[in-house]
Structure 1
Amino acid sequence: MAPVLPLVLPLQPRIRLAQGLWLCSWLLALASSLTLLCSGHLLIQLWHLGTFLSPSCPFPALPRTALAAGALALGTGLGGAGASRASLDAARYPAWRGVLGPLLVAGTAVGGGLLVLALGLALGLPGSLEDGLEEGLGTALVHYKDTEVPGHCHAKRLVDELQLKHQCCGRHGYKDWFGFQWVSSRYLDPGDQDVADRIQSNVEGLYLIDGVPFSCCNPHSPRPCLQSRLSDPHAHPLFDPRQPNLNLWAQGCHGVLLGYLQGLAGTLGSLLAMTFLLQALVLLGLRYLQTALEGLGGVIDAEGDTQGYLFPAGLKDMLKTSWLQGGVAPKPAPQEAAPGQALPQEGPPEDQ
């Protein structure tokens, strides 16, 4: 049975393989550490922005999976660095002989599987952000006025912090506030005729105005901020309401958050791809180094050539051997009698 992908490794190539593995293992540890930092940062950002994301949006699964994949890749990198360093010393290598097998299996099956899953999520899940942010931001704007309603009393503060920090206004622009009641009912005088007319003119009984909260104002503007009567061309004679420069943030929060989170997901996807390639190189190198040293009794500087391989036999032979060792081999058929030779017949013994 011929081994799979054999590679002849003389003395100098074996030493260079161990040294290169040591370097690649530390590069894998560095890449996986960056993956952990990026996925942790994304998870923290989603924790802060969770109010503006729909609960049914699956995007938060990406940083959680990337955290697990990065942690296993970091362990693989540190283990590979220790094993490759120990392989250069015949006295230190025997302690690693029993570790390499489980390390290779765990790194390939569990670590590789998690990296592939995280890469798939990094490619597929950012598209779900658009609908998730659309629904989440709409819900947050609806509850902006509910400062005394349990469960929504922090919505106003969170929306104001979002608009000030990310320099955005409304869901897609400042005019989105015209369709929501953002003034709390506790500040409205039911006896005011203007308030009563605005509430009665709305089908849902909401107090709608053509104004925006203070958090939509640009604090760096040299002119006073226009917050009310923005659609009235005669309310502010010195300013043209048809111009976009109303001292308000021009961008909507949906586009700003979408670009921000998708940018973080793209960076995380690049780090995951780099980590996956480095882990594949480290695992392949460790397997060749392990099989080569097994042929030399664990002594890397032994004289003569040795052979490294991925599997000791071909896939067909490995499956056949496993099948036979499992006790399911077909039983041999009973030997047939020779032609012309009668089979012995059993009968009662003859009387003496």
Structure 2
Amino acid sequence: MAPVLPLVLPLQPRIRLAQGLWLLSWLLALASGFIILCSGHLLVQLWPLRTFLAPSCAFPSLPQVALAAGAVALVTGLVSAGASRASLDAARYPPWREVLSPLLLAGAVVGGGLLLLALGLALGLPGSLDSGLEEGLGAALTHYKDTEVPGHCHSKRLVDELQLRHHCCGRHSYKDWFVVQWVSNRYLDPNDQDVTDRIQSNVEGLYLIDGVPFSCCNPHSPRPCLQNRLSDPHAHPIFDPRQPNLNLWAPGCHEVLLVYLQGLASTLGGTLAVTSLLQALVLLGLRYLQTALEGLGGVIDGEGEAQGYLFPAGLKDMLKAAWQQGGVAPRPAPEETPPEGPPQEGPPET
């Protein structure tokens, strides 16, 4: 049975393979460390933004899977660096001979599986951010007034911090505040005729105004912030509704958060792709180096040429052998016995 993808490795190519593998292993460790930093940063950024994502949005699982993939890739890189360094010394290599095969298997199955899963999430999950932010921001604006309702008492503070930090207003624009009641009921005077008229004129009994919270105000505006009666062209002669950025933050929080989070996911996805390629090269190189040294008794500068390979036998033969060892090989049919006929009578006795 011929080995799979054999490669002849003389002395100098074996040494260069070990040295290059040591360098690639450290590059893998650095790339996986960068994955840990990127996924940790994304996880920290998502923590205060979890209120503005729909519960069904799976985007927060991306940094968690990427963090696990980066940790496994980091261990793979450090172990591979140690093994390739030890392979250059015949006295230091023997302890690695028994553990390299399990490490290669774990790195390929666990590490490779986590990296591919995280890369798939980085490519697929950002598309779900649009609907997740649409639903989450809409619920946050609706509960802005519920400062005394358990479970929603922090919505006002979180929305204000979001708009102040990311320089945005409303879900898509400042006009989103015109269709939700954002003033708490405890600040409304039930004896005020204007308050009563506004509540009665709304089908849902909400107090709607054409104003925005203070966190929508642009502190760099050259004029005082105008928060109320923004739809009345005669109320504020100096306010131009066509240029709200002179007074209010123009972009909506949906657009700002979508671009921001997708940018972080894109950076993380690129790092995951590079790390996956580095890990594949490291595992392949380490496998060839391991099998080549096995033919030389663990001595890299042994005499003669060594042959490295991925598998010791053909895949078809290996699968066939495993199938037969599992006891599921077809059993030969039992030989047919001739049917028994009537007993023949012996010759008459004389």
Q: Secondary structure at the match of 1:8?
A: strand
Of 174-183 and 320-329, more deviation after overlay is shown by: 320-329
The answer to whether the 8 Å contact 1:33/1:74 transfers is yes
Q: Residue in 2 aligned with 1:135?
A: 135
> 1:245 & 1:75 partners in 2: Cα distance?
50
Please report how far the alpha carbon of residue 44 of structure 1 lies from its aligned counterpart in structure 2 after TM superposition.
Answer: 1.4
Number of corresponding residues: 338
Amino acid in structure 2 at the alignment position of 1:127? G
The answer to whether the 8 Å contact 1:232/1:241 transfers is no
Aligned 1:204-243 pairs, distance under 5 A: 204-243=204-243
> 2:129 & 2:264 partners in 1: Cα distance?
12
**Alpha carbons of structure 1 residues 155 and 331: separation in structure 2 relative to 1, 3 Å:** closer
Q: Residue in 2 aligned with 1:247?
A: 247
Q: Residue in 2 aligned with 1:108?
A: 108
The Cα offsets for residues 107-163 of structure 1, whole Å up to 9 and x where unpaired, read as 111111111111111111100000000000000000101111111111000000000
The answer to whether the 8 Å contact 1:226/1:246 transfers is no
Q: Percent identity?
A: 84
**Alpha carbons of structure 1 residues 144 and 332: separation in structure 2 relative to 1, 3 Å:** closer
The Cα offsets for residues 75-129 of structure 1, whole Å up to 9 and x where unpaired, read as 1000100000000010110011112111100011111111111111111110000
Please report how far the alpha carbon of residue 53 of structure 1 lies from its aligned counterpart in structure 2 after TM superposition.
Answer: 0.4
**Alpha carbons of structure 1 residues 329 and 192: separation in structure 2 relative to 1, 3 Å:** closer
Aligned 1:267-282 pairs, distance under 5 A: 267-282=267-282
The reply on whether 1:2 has 2:10 as its aligned counterpart is no
Of 217-226 and 288-297, more deviation after overlay is shown by: 217-226
RMSD across aligned C-alpha pairs, in angstroms?
1.7
**Alpha carbons of structure 1 residues 187 and 10: separation in structure 2 relative to 1, 3 Å:** same
The Cα offsets for residues 140-199 of structure 1, whole Å up to 9 and x where unpaired, read as 000101111111111000000000000000000000000011111111100011111111
> 1:328 & 1:238 partners in 2: Cα distance?
86
Q: Secondary structure at the match of 1:197?
A: helix
**Alpha carbons of structure 1 residues 25 and 194: separation in structure 2 relative to 1, 3 Å:** same
Q: Secondary structure at the match of 1:144?
A: coil
Q: Residue in 1 aligned with 2:192?
A: 192
Q: Residue in 1 aligned with 2:54?
A: 54
Q: Residue in 2 aligned with 1:258?
A: 258
TM-score (norm 2): 0.93
The answer to whether the 8 Å contact 2:218/2:246 transfers is no
Q: Residue in 1 aligned with 2:341?
A: none
The Cα offsets for residues 6-58 of structure 1, whole Å up to 9 and x where unpaired, read as 00000000000000000000000000010011111111111110000001101
Structure 1 residues not aligned, in runs of 5+ = 337-352
Q: Residue in 2 aligned with 1:159?
A: 159
Q: Residue in 2 aligned with 1:172?
A: 172
Structure 2 residues not aligned, in runs of 5+ = 337-350
> 1:225 & 1:325 partners in 2: Cα distance?
80
The reply on whether 1:75 has 2:75 as its aligned counterpart is yes
Q: Secondary structure at the match of 1:275?
A: helix
Deviating above 4 A after TM superposition, structure 1's stretches of 4 or more consecutive aligned residues are 327-336
Amino acid in structure 2 at the alignment position of 1:251? P
Q: Secondary structure at the match of 1:307?
A: strand
The answer to whether the 8 Å contact 1:62/1:122 transfers is yes
TM-score (norm 1): 0.93
Amino acid in structure 2 at the alignment position of 1:169? C
